[in-house]
Structure 1
């Protein structure tokens, strides 16, 4: 007997398609104002940096701006010294020293650079201050943003953005002023006579400061700054970090000031969320060490103020180490920290020596394309052009000599004066009796020395070419 196999629909059911956002949507952070030791330290540090940045550009030194990147002439003036493109190795050296300094600070104390001295953080704190002055504290700003637009709200927003634009514009003009003398730049901007590039860079840095400190804020620290990504590699269990002590704080819960909270099974944390409200990156430090934490210690100040009001010991949130949190001993001196410190000290010492011993004159010798010629007296002549670069801040008279061959005669100016910062071209001739030439290509040496200062001197090699010697 034949039986039919039943037909079944095996078409797979439609898959349920779900989408997952790769990036979490940003929620606006409303920070609360606070006071405390670390906030005061941050204000002092920020004020110092602002005075340094906005004040240095107005200083004059020996007839020019004290700090001035003179790009058209390719000179960098920093007080009494002038650096040329040939000295840019020193700049690279300085950047390496700064990198090692940052590594040392990170190994020792985490991201304190970010919290206290990073320009992004400093300008963000200034912009947050402008918010508080014009729109009120955290709760007032949240309430203001929820209300419909009114004349009062418009004026408050206008005042806030006016301060933001003013600070951004001042920052941009100051920055460009380090490349174009600021005493010339400001009148040119006011009369619209500034160059197109000056206008472009002022506009660019105004927009960048306004956007970074006004809107992006913590997004720069979390997503855009590479330091946040690799700083965790330099952390160890003895690195100082801002951390919450769960052994003391848990379990969390509200209570009255005079309540016996330990009998209720509670820790010192009253779960007021003040540490979250003051955090510029919006994290909860009680969740542990996070990449978003910039080590600004705002949560420490906020928590200490609450502990003081509750008559509890301060330090529930503090600068501590992972070893200390786990009840182990913290090792302040450790091999990696010592290694960074030694390397940094050696590089700083070598850099200081390189700057102190930098020659204030440079000599380049350019030989004429004609290899040699014979003059009327039968002597062999070679022609050279000496490029003398006077790096000093004053005029210098130099004495020029050439030797390396017996009987070599220098024909040309033996004394020449170069103005401050001048590159002088000087044609010279050397001649010799052909019988005194040991070979067809002979090494010679040009010597240059300041007439009034023997410490200013240099020399340069070249070749004296003659006919083939048989």
Structure 2
């Protein structure tokens, strides 16, 4: 062995000694103590920060404006959902079901392909806990120092550090509560109520509940939320198979695990690449040992991959002892292409149908909508001049943000006359305005006992934009004369 190799080997031995000292503190935790996960840098840690930044939309989204209102506002009291230039009322809530279906199937697709990748990289509980523990590490130090501080007697230093930490935790929880409420109440009005101490009712309750919930779940329960409260951990087992790529320990390469004695080569020891340093456990936010195979506590955040790669680099061994890989690939089996997996086709078909339904709904979403109800008793009335009259109740739904005057007309029958449609319908914003009209048609113009009739509405907003809508109904009459 050359001097350079010997020096590098000694340095690696020293590093492994430190890792073994740390490993003594880690074991599977079922809630009896707080897990203080070690933080290591690496590719997957960087990816986690980038995916966590998606939640900036949650905090900043309510402050986007669209004209004179909030760009995205779920106004439940007034039963209106404003999404930029689109206003969705309860009559269009069927699209919400398709949106929920789309995201549910998307979660199933992600799980089938890469396991609980949502939990590891996008889940709010995971990300908020990560931020809370990051603050804890900045104030209290590494895991060893945090454990030491927990056991230390209460003094001014400990009180000061703990007070600052919990204050920052509560601030983040409060911002979370305010941000959630701001999607349902105008953000500027919400802040006005908070700053003037005049916020009451449901918004105040929501803010307080989310503040307490975030503080408790991310600050104290942490991984126990994933282990015992989250239903996804219970059902993920039926959503993955041997072709699903998940963080996997290569036991063929790693076993038999163990430390190589000083002065002994790896070949001489007969040991695998795993030196049993337990760093994969030390960095795990839920405290599981990936070397024991897949477990319900594993949120597949891939931090164990970064930890293991760091150790392998120190030992001059190939990285990837722990890596994203399916069981079939690990065992050398031929893996099926994506298009050969039946569940991919099923999931894809459902996603396509859901997206098609949402696209259709948005494309046919009118600013003003019309519903026509034909009076059934009687179906028609014969007038003194021989014309046939039908009675209808027209319901005009105004989905815009301003009051409108809507004109009504009808077509489809020769000589049709509308009675009661001379004056425009005054349609209040977000409301349904009913109007009773009578349609009269000369009897000789009727070709059948029931014929289609089309009702039209037309209006203009303050900017001069024209909105129209139409709805087909039927016109009833006696049998035609021969």
**TM-score over 0.5 (shorter chain):** yes
Alpha-carbon deviation of 1:353? 3.2
Aligned counterpart for 1:101 among listed residues 80, 83, 106:
106
Please give the residue correspondences for 1:316-395 in structure 2 after superposition, counting only pairs within 5 Å: 316-333=321-338, 334-366=341-373, 384-392=392-400
Aligned counterpart for 1:413 among listed residues 404, 408, 422:
422
Quote the Cα distance in structure 2 between the aligned partners of 1:40 and 1:341: 30
Change (3 A) 1:282 1:195: same
Structure-2 residue corresponding to 1:448? 457
Quote the Cα distance in structure 2 between the aligned partners of 1:323 and 1:286: 17
Alpha-carbon deviation of 1:276? 0.6
Structure-2 residue corresponding to 1:458? 470
Structure-2 residue corresponding to 1:75? 80
Instruction: Say whether residues 1:209 and 2:209 are aligned partners.
Output: no
Structure-2 residue corresponding to 1:238? 243
Asked if structure 2 preserves the Cα contact closer than 8 Å seen for 1:62 and 1:80, the reply is: no
Structure 1, unmatched stretches of 5+, are 1-22
Instruction: Say whether residues 1:400 and 2:405 are aligned partners.
Output: no
Asked if structure 2 preserves the Cα contact closer than 8 Å seen for 1:57 and 1:66, the reply is: yes
Structure 2, unmatched stretches of 5+, are 1-28
Please give the residue correspondences for 1:61-460 in structure 2 after superposition, counting only pairs within 5 Å: 61-255=66-260, 259-333=264-338, 334-366=341-373, 384-392=392-400, 398-403=406-411, 407-411=415-419, 412-413=421-422, 421=430, 423-432=432-441, 444-449=453-458, 456-460=468-472
Asked if structure 1 preserves the Cα contact closer than 8 Å seen for 2:281 and 2:290, the reply is: yes
Change (3 A) 1:259 1:192: same
Partner deviation per Cα, 1:11-40 (whole Å, 9 max, x = no partner): xxxxxxxxxxxx955332111111110110
Asked if structure 2 preserves the Cα contact closer than 8 Å seen for 1:399 and 1:449, the reply is: yes
The SS at the match of 1:448 is strand
The SS at the match of 2:285 is coil
Alpha-carbon deviation of 1:142? 0.7
Quote the Cα distance in structure 2 between the aligned partners of 1:377 and 1:437: 15
Q: TM-score, normalised by structure 2?
A: 0.83
Structure-1 residue corresponding to 2:20? none
What do you get for the CA RMSD once the two structures are aligned? 3.2
Higher share in helix: 2
Asked if structure 1 preserves the Cα contact closer than 8 Å seen for 2:450 and 2:474, the reply is: no
The SS at the match of 2:137 is helix
Which moves more between the two structures, 287-296 or 436-445?
A: 436-445
Which moves more between the two structures, 340-349 or 164-173?
A: 340-349
Partner deviation per Cα, 1:87-116 (whole Å, 9 max, x = no partner): 111110011111111111111111111100
Instruction: Say whether residues 1:38 and 2:44 are aligned partners.
Output: yes
Change (3 A) 1:305 1:258: farther
Structure-1 residue corresponding to 2:23? none
Change (3 A) 1:453 1:199: closer
The SS at the match of 2:266 is coil
Partner deviation per Cα, 1:243-279 (whole Å, 9 max, x = no partner): 1111111122234687512311211111111111110
Quote the Cα distance in structure 2 between the aligned partners of 1:233 and 1:247: 26
Change (3 A) 1:71 1:465: farther
Quote the Cα distance in structure 1 between the aligned partners of 2:42 and 2:137: 17
Quote the Cα distance in structure 2 between the aligned partners of 1:109 and 1:36: 20
Change (3 A) 1:181 1:76: same
Asked if structure 1 preserves the Cα contact closer than 8 Å seen for 2:95 and 2:357, the reply is: no
Change (3 A) 1:376 1:38: same
Quote the Cα distance in structure 1 between the aligned partners of 2:285 and 2:73: 35
Which moves more between the two structures, 262-271 or 454-463?
A: 454-463
Partner deviation per Cα, 1:408-464 (whole Å, 9 max, x = no partner): 421223755757655434343334567878999887542335678888422142666
Which moves more between the two structures, 443-452 or 73-82?
A: 443-452
